[in-house]
Chains A and B, each alone.
Chain A
């Protein structure tokens, strides 16, 4: 039975994963919801071409995070794909059992990834709730945990043991939590400003409960 919400109908879901076996696992969960499934065979060159190819093929997307492990399936990972779908108002969910996924996902893209399911066997009710959440956000109904606020950010340290990794503290959120970020996820004009002790501003959803759910976007140079 299709999902009907906010005047939208979700009947067919495209599953994206470079592992054919995982695509089957995702498909079973979606079929348990009574939705139709189509699988993306790849290869995929860039997100915009993917979006163009989606027209008429599916109403929503469920993607694994890692899409560049097997063969030449994709030139980009699932975080970019799901964020691009969101920006085109296509409901999309990101999944992964890769334990560190939440620490390597680009946090500027997290603004456009309302649901991350840390599993490759998501429950049907979580998939349904996730798609509904996406459509709610397209209608402007962001829950407090997802709303952006201009936020003061303190660069706490630059991790010498891992190139590009640094930690920030948000005084308005939880000063005991050092949040890992990657320099190459920042805009080019911000990257040189990443120095211990520096204070910066960005849009952050400081209503989030866990640091894994925080996104950082619209960084400011002053």
Chain B
């Protein structure tokens, strides 16, 4: 029998970085921790004391920084931590995290597992919630960062970033893009996997990444959105850091999905020079890092696993905020641009 509340997926406002929390009656799963205290604050506010699994998509600090905090805080019991190898990530911090995890495993506090790829996705499932790892492919995971693929392209930490398709009772909910790059996307698309999902957490915070040209950034966004066909695209960004999302990325998203709702966790400096004077009233009750200093655009998203169209904050409330506080935001300006080019090029029309 279908339960009334299968749970929620939260895409947290952690500033620049990523963290997602799946909460169900069967337990809690964390996918990336972001940096800072946002994840800890969210879990504490939610009354979570036990985390079934923590999945770390790749070794970048903006995705794994708070893992050390989770362990250090002693506030949460963690079942297991799953990550991929990264011998190229030769930082004291990565080494320190791995040592901490091994020590916790030696003490019997956690299970510490290595190896996330499309070959072993079912290991992450939590009752009715399935977490299908669609990237890296087993080939890329086996090659690992620092090597090259069969076409001589460099495989980096981002190339092997885990990309996870979350499904509930067989229905796709969201694709969490990690920091997937062009090469990782090419390998993913070659598998022919069905990665359609109503919600896309855009890879790499919508940054241009290492792409040499704007055209490549736009092409990346178009190829990804063509495969995912999202109705909502989320950029997990921190205001004042890296000026994300990149305008060409937003253009590419809107050219492919002109009707989609684009929303950032924080208000990008590319969208508004000044922060709003008043405290935000449109964002949900869940912890958002940007709330204290008025930096939120949409803040933390809380998505129903039963019906992914039920999202806090609502599209309407977020749109009203953008209209009043950031009328020249990228999601507005680019939409007009996409609409114009869509008409010019005979592509799909706008809203």
Contact = CB atoms under 8 A, between A and B. Distances in A.
Q: Are these two chains actual partners, yes or no?
A: yes
Interface of A: 143-145, 147, 149-152, 154, 156, 169, 171-175, 199, 201, 205-207, 209
Given A154-B96, A199-B96, A172 B91 contact: no
Contacts of B5: none
A149 B287 CA distance: 16
B36 interface: yes
Given A149-B40, A207-B37, A207-B289, A175 B72 contact: no
Contacts of A154: 92-93, 96
Main secondary structure of the interface of B (DSSP, over half): helix
17 contacts: A143-B292, A144-B38, A149-B72, A151-B69, A151-B72, A152-B100, A154-B93, A169-B92, A171-B61, A172-B35, A172-B36, A172-B37, A175-B91, A175-B93, A199-B96, A206-B69, A207-B289
Given A171-B96, A175-B65, A149 B73 contact: yes
B97 interface: yes
Contacts of B287: 144
Interface in B39-74: 40-41, 61, 65-69, 71-74
B293 A209 contact: yes
A152 B40 contact: no
A32 B233 CA distance: 49
A172 B34 CA distance: 9
Contact of B41 (A144, A150, A201): A144
Interface residues of B, number: 26
A7 B292 CA distance: 24
A172 B68 contact: yes
Contacts of A201: 72
A145 B294 CA distance: 13
A153 B61 CA distance: 15
A175 B69 contact: no
A201 B74 CA distance: 12
Interface string B271-314: 00000000000000001010011000000000000000000000
Contact of A171 (B40, B41, B97, B289): B97
Contacts of B293: 145, 209
A171 B66 CA distance: 8
Contacts of A175: 61, 65, 91, 93
Given A151-B72, A172-B66, A172-B68, A144 B292 contact: yes
A168 B93 CA distance: 12
B281 to A, nearest CB: 18
Given A143-B292, A144-B41, A147-B37, A172 B65 contact: yes
Nearest to B71: A152
Contacts of A206: 36-37, 69
A206 B93 CA distance: 16
Interface string B71-93: 11110000000000000000111
B72 A152 contact: yes
A154 B95 CA distance: 12
Contacts of A172: 35-37, 65-69, 72
A150 B96 contact: no
Given A144-B289, A171-B65, A152 B96 contact: yes
A150 B37 contact: no
Contacts of B96: 152, 154, 171, 199
A207 B93 CA distance: 19
Contacts of B97: 171
B92 A173 contact: no
A145 B292 contact: yes
A152 B262 CA distance: 36
The 9 closest A-B pairs by CB, nearest first: A172-B69, A207-B37, A171-B93, A171-B68, A152-B68, A152-B72, A206-B37, A175-B61, A172-B68
Contact of A174 (B35, B37, B72): B35
Nearest to A201: B72
Which of A143, A169, A174, A205 has the most chain B CB atoms closer than 10 A to its own CB? A174
